[in-house]
Structure 1
Amino acid sequence: MKAFAIEAYNQDPKFIDQTKPQINDEEVFIEIHAASINPLDSKIRKGELKALLEYDMPLVLGNDFSGTVVEKGKNVTKFNIGDEVYGKPRSEKMGTFTEYIALNEAEIALKPTNLSFEEAAGIPLVGLTSYQVFNDILNLNKDDKILIHAGSGGVGTFAIQLAKAMGAYVATTSSDGIDLAKSMGADQVINYKTENFDDIIQDFDAVLDTIGGDTLEKSFKSVKKGGDIISIAGPPNEAFAEKMGFGFVKRKIFSTISRKVTNLEKEYGVDYMFYFMEHNGKQLETLTKLLEEGTVKSVIDRVYPFEEAEDALNYSETGKAKGKIILKMK
């Protein structure tokens, strides 16, 4: 089968031929119809996450998908052959830029009936990221104020919708995607090219940072004492290392890396956490209900045929996408 992979970190990916995987008794064998491209794919390709995740080469890229079950193990109870599904593989099983994949049934859910395969493929990673940050970590409540950076991006477009569905007041940053961010329900949109968000947003309950760097550091000014900053862009910190069960050496390495944000935590009285989302089929089922009800929707920027995966990845790395970039396999 054809797959889009890297053979070494920081090298350009290319198409390779792979043997179709065999399933075990708890797995389903899925023909992939569509997959989405995420900034995470570029970070993995460049080796930026080697401290967190080590992979064997060649490594097939891709972290979410939609497709059809074509075979199932004897212990699989939730799915049947012919079911249309979508999901986010666990980190060690990543590799959705391919024609087929074998996954545990806990990693997938039935595809929303009102979504195309392309629309569904754009949901799992950004949807689970948003849901886990808001529900599991922040316990976002009605009338909480949250700043979501990059409101017209893949995570941003979904996160705004979900936060609004949970009753929060949502501010976001954007430039060319201001109208899109507003259409997602954002209460306040700051044009980061002409305005300093940290001068405008003050005493918010939380920030979801999707950018890192200076944007993350300035965000500490926007959160009230006792508030929270969750970043999916980094840097990882010691608290994250402890959550992941890493040993003392790696925890101290992450502590050193995040020293600047640790100092900002102390200065502003704000709690910071780096977050790396987890696969969760049950939570995907919750998102499916929201999607089928029309509470949230999938936002797609462009769909590329699988053969143009390199162009799609290059476009993703420009940072100009409004919504999700999709690869269509079938």
Structure 2
Amino acid sequence: MKAIALQEYGTADDLRLVDLPDPKVGPAEVLIRVKAAAINPVDWKLAAGGLDALMEVRFPLVPGWDVAGVVERVGFDAGEFAVGDEVFGYIRKDWVQQGAYAELASANVRMLAKKPSSLDWVQAAGVPLAGQTAYRSLKRVGVQAGETVLIHAAAGGVGSFGTQIAVALGARVIGTASERNHEYLRSLGAEPVAYGDGLADRLRAVGGIDAAVDFVGGDAVETSLEFVRPERVASIANPDVEARGGHYVWVRPDGAELAELTRLADDGKLTVHVERAFPLAQAADAWRLSQQGRTRGKIVLTV
């Protein structure tokens, strides 16, 4: 198969389109013919060695944990899916090597769900990691209908999903973003607030805030704790939130959560904004765009 791979830790400049053996399909796994794979910042951070102390990484390394495609082969004890099924998922295994930037990818059935019929391949690939991260963060702080939730970086890849999921739960959403993204946030159902100096003063004018989720880092947790009880603050960017009584969220593959996102999408409550789609061979350009940190929504590779 064709795949994007690194032979050792490196940067976008070290990505190469290579020929690799097809992935093996173990028990409870299926083989997926990849249609699209999303870019996530963790892809290039991991490739640079940023998670070496935490995760087992093997080379050649095929990056990518977000996939959308068609089931091509079904392994033993994997009856949840059949050949020809259109699926998507967050396919992080116990070690990091065989990712989604390839023509074929194998995945355990617990990581997958049926692809939403309302989304095309590129949109569907953008959902799993970011969508499940947002979903799990909001559930961790117990957002309920009628409450007000503060979402930091609400226009980003994760924040866009968090905003829509919170709105679907019946919450009022206050979303921080740059001025250029305020109209976009309004289209998702949020009330935008400019981030940066003076944010706390602007939030005081909002009224009571019941919960907060941080999708950006920096001083977002500290600002949130001025308005929200610690147990109702979650962050995906600041592990120190736990020492303050909040929640640090590291998403795990979960087909049941993904199926809930499928339901929201097919009910018209979850859309996917794709900033740009690149062909597989241009993965390095996709990483460079992601590293700018100013994109709205998702960046996706088409295979």
Instruction: Give your verdict on TM over 0.5.
Output: yes
Aligned equivalent of 2:3:
3
Of 145, 168, 172, the residue aligned with 1:169 is 172
Q: Matched residues in 2 for 1:160 and 1:262: separation?
A: 23
Aligned equivalent of 2:24:
22
TM alignment of 1:146-295, pairs within 5 A: 146-175=149-178, 176-186=180-190, 188-193=191-196, 196-202=198-204, 203-223=208-228, 225-235=229-239, 258=240, 265=244, 271-295=245-269
TM alignment of 1:50-65, pairs within 5 A: 50-65=52-67
Call closer, same or farther: CA 1:112–1:262 in 2, change over 3 Å. closer
Does the CA contact (< 8 Å) of 2:56 and 2:95 recur in 1? no
- How many angstroms does 1:321 deviate by? 0.9
- Over aligned residue pairs, what C-alpha RMSD do you find? 1.9
- How many angstroms does 1:93 deviate by? 5.5
Aligned equivalent of 1:141:
144
Q: Matched residues in 1 for 2:296 and 2:11: separation?
A: 26
TM alignment of 1:72-87, pairs within 5 A: 72-87=74-89
Structure-2-length-normalised TM-score: 0.91
Of 104, 107, 115, the residue aligned with 2:108 is 104
Aligned equivalent of 2:287:
313
Q: How many residues align?
A: 295
Look up the SS of the partner of 1:201 in the other structure: helix
Call closer, same or farther: CA 1:84–1:42 in 2, change over 3 Å. same
Q: Matched residues in 2 for 1:197 and 1:305: separation?
A: 39
Residue type of the alignment partner of 1:221:
E
Aligned equivalent of 2:278:
304
Call closer, same or farther: CA 1:216–1:51 in 2, change over 3 Å. farther
Q: Matched residues in 1 for 2:257 and 2:269: separation?
A: 16
Does the CA contact (< 8 Å) of 2:137 and 2:235 recur in 1? no
Call closer, same or farther: CA 1:75–1:262 in 2, change over 3 Å. closer
Q: Matched residues in 2 for 1:213 and 1:124: separation?
A: 25
Residue type of the alignment partner of 2:105:
I
Aligned equivalent of 2:68:
66
Look up the SS of the partner of 2:226 in the other structure: helix
Q: Matched residues in 1 for 2:264 and 2:250: separation?
A: 23
Residue type of the alignment partner of 1:305:
P
Does the CA contact (< 8 Å) of 2:231 and 2:247 recur in 1? no
Residue type of the alignment partner of 2:202:
I
Of 43, 46, 49, the residue aligned with 2:45 is 43
- How many angstroms does 1:272 deviate by? 1.9
Q: Matched residues in 2 for 1:90 and 1:131: separation?
A: 17
- How many angstroms does 1:181 deviate by? 1.1
Of 136, 150, 161, the residue aligned with 1:132 is 136
Which consecutive aligned stretches of 4+ in structure 1 deviate over 4 angstroms post-superposition? none
Does the CA contact (< 8 Å) of 2:153 and 2:215 recur in 1? yes
Call closer, same or farther: CA 1:262–1:279 in 2, change over 3 Å. closer
Call closer, same or farther: CA 1:217–1:58 in 2, change over 3 Å. farther
Look up the SS of the partner of 1:222 in the other structure: coil
Q: Matched residues in 1 for 2:50 and 2:233: separation?
A: 21
Q: Matched residues in 2 for 1:29 and 1:180: separation?
A: 37
Fraction of identical pairs, as percent: 36
Q: Matched residues in 1 for 2:200 and 2:291: separation?
A: 26
Aligned equivalent of 2:301:
327
Does the CA contact (< 8 Å) of 1:55 and 1:92 recur in 2? no
